[in-house]
């Protein structure tokens, strides 16, 4: 992937599910991801990606998962295994600390927060496609959680809708190294236009920043 100056206005950073329950020690799901997250230095790379995007004036779209509320899924005919697990754990409970964004990633003026997705695909039953089109976005750089579920589902559907999709291998995590391998070595190459590291994407963003000087 290359980011020439005329592509700046077409590129967005999609930050999927930056919740405390995922990213913070004490989060309900954090222990499940801790080993993989620490092995890729996840938080450091997420901070670097967000900082580089802001300095390069790359817009940031937050793509959050549905925050659990009492009664969710109890009357559904076909809740998924992940949704049933979310109900049991009360993941990202609305009004709770775990359902807040990690403090290192506050929403700032100009950021766009997409309507919450109920399952894994950030486009399904949300305004993501509409918001991207209204802001002239054609190229998506995905970071956040989880590599082989929400990141993959959102990226795959983004490709189906005609977007250019970039995955960032060390700005995401999964339950296991095997899941990370599947996300980036097996499934990712079937839909993503680029699969890069944080340092590679940051260098591209910084090249845009320097082009302004």
Q: Read off the pTM.
A: 0.94
The pLDDT-based confidence of 211 (bands split at 50, 70, 90) is: low
pLDDT at 210: 59
| pLDDT tens readout for residues 106-165 | 999 999 999 999 999 999 999 999 999 999 999 999 999 999 999 999 999 999 999 999
Q: In the predicted model, is pLDDT for residue 1 greater than 70?
A: no
Q: Secondary structure of the chain: what % helix, strand, coil (to 5)?
A: 45, 15, 40
CA distance 60 to 63: 10
CA distance 155 to 151: 6
Residues above pLDDT 90, as percent of the chain: 92
Domain count, the chain: 1
CATH number for position 137: 3.40.50.850
User: Residue 122: which domain range?
Assistant: 5-211
């Amino acid at each position: 992937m290359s980011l020439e100056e005329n592509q700046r206005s077409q590129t967005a950073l999609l930050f999927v599910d930056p919740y405390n329950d995922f990213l913070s020690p004490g989060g309900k799901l954090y222990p499940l991801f801790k080993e993989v997250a620490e092995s890729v230095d996840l938080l450091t790379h997420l901070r670097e990606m967000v900082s580089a995007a802001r300095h390069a004036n790359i817009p940031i779209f937050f793509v959050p998962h549905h925050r659990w509320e009492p009664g969710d899924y109890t009357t559904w005919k076909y809740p998924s295994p992940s949704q049933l697990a979310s109900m049991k754990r009360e993941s990202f409970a609305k009004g709770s600390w775990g359902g807040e964004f990690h403090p290192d990633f506050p929403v700032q003026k100009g950021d766009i927060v997409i309507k919450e997705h109920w399952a894994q695909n950030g486009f399904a039953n949300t305004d993501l496609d509409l918001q991207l089109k209204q802001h002239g976005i054609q190229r998506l750089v995905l970071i956040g959680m989880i590599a082989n579920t929400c990141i993959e589902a959102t990226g795959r559907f983004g490709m189906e809708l005609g977007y250019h999709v970039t995955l960032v291998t060390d700005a995401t995590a999964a339950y296991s190294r095997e899941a990370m391998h599947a996300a980036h070595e097996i499934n990712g190459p079937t839909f993503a236009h680029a699969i890069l590291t944080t340092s590679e994407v940051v260098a591209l963003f910084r090249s845009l920043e320097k082009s302004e000087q």
